[in-house]
Amino acid sequence: MADPLVEFDGVDKFFGKTHVLKNVDLAIEEREVVVVIGPSGSGKSTLLRCVNRLEEIRSGDIRLDGQSVLEADVNEVRQRIGMVFQSFNLFPHKSALGNVALAPKKIRGLPEDAAEDRARELLDRVGLSDQTGSYPEALSGGQQQRVAIARALAMDPTVMLFDEVTSALDPELVGEVLDVIEGLADDGMTMVLVTHEMGFAREVGDRIVLMADGRVVEVTDSEAFFERPETERGRQFLSRLL
Ligand code: ADP
Ligand code: MG
């Protein structure tokens, strides 16, 4: 069998003396959509941030396509991993098009025309072909987040990581962002998502990873997880949602 696309192998992470990831093993296959759930403070964001080395791990290894990210050039690793956060962090003085075209121009050295053509394609893919010239302040939260997704896609990442990307949005704007993510799943993008949207997790996720207190406590196919979780922690987590 091929290597998993992303693999956590005995990962330990500390913040000072606080042990926040405890011997985490997790393998994510190509084209898989893995949804990470769990209580606040359980280590979900840290798990994602370790993959592109926004956080340093104490021990263990994280491999991308079979290669340790710890040994690779950090900029190369970050180019291969698209990450979208709760806060959109768009460049305020650039249009939607400018935001999406920037990294391909600056980092890849793509000519302006080619970078902008590609940016237009990506903005079209996230449903914003009519907003290419708009500046972030003129866009709704849902539109800004979709620009942020297009920007992350612009470097042709191998895997996309989403950390609670709809948590800061007004409820009526959540759906348009989830629709974009679902479209990426349909196109076969490998994704790891932290989300509180359980309906979405069930529908779009292939597997659910439940974290508690820095550990992965359950990994179950998503349909099965919501029907009958395998662990007591899983049952507790679901019962609190009701
Ligand atoms: P989650 O995303 O599941 O809410 P986090 O990964 O953000 O959890 O946090 C896991 C633990 O690590 C928490 O106890 C949190 O307080 C701690 N933590 C997160 N970031 C930092 C940091 N930069 N410095 C110190 N502790 C942190
Ligand atoms: Mg978090």
Interval 151-207: pLDDT, tens: 999 999 999 999 999 999 999 999 999 999 999 999 999 999 999 999 999 999 999
Cβ 239 under 6 angstroms from ligand 1: no
Cβ 131 under 6 angstroms from ligand 1: no
Compute the average pLDDT of residues 14-31: 98
Beta bridge partners of 207: 34, 221
- What homologous superfamily does CATH list for 6-42+81-239? P-loop containing nucleotide triphosphate hydrolases (3.40.50.300)
Q: Give just the sign of the alpha carbon dihedral 48, 125, 32, 209.
A: positive
As a whole number of angstroms, the distance between CA 162 and CA 113 comes to: 29
Listed residues: CB within 5 A of ion ligand 2: 44-45
**119 pLDDT above the threshold of 80:** yes
Mean pLDDT for all residues in the chain = 96
- Phi, psi angles (nearest 5°) of residue 128: -125, 35
Residue 30: strand, helix, or coil: coil
Compute the average pLDDT of residues 97-118: 96
Cα(46) to centroid(ligand 1), Å: 6
As a whole number of angstroms, the distance between CA 188 and CA 40 comes to: 29
Strand-pair category, 33-37 with 207-212: parallel
Q: Position 189: which residue type?
A: M
Q: What is the pLDDT, as a whole number, of residue 1?
A: 64
Grade residue 9 by pLDDT with cuts at 50, 70 and 90.
Answer: very high
**241 pLDDT above the threshold of 90:** no
Ligand 1 atom nearest the C-alpha of 43 is 6
Cβ 42 under 6 angstroms from ligand 1: yes
Is the pTM higher than 0.90? Answer: yes
| Other C-beta atoms lying within 10 Å of the C-beta of residue 122 | 24
Q: Atom 5 (ligand 1): residue with closest C-alpha?
A: 43
Cα(118) to centroid(ligand 1), Å: 36
Interval 23-81: pLDDT, tens: 999 999 999 999 999 999 999 999 999 999 999 999 999 999 999 999 999 999 999 99
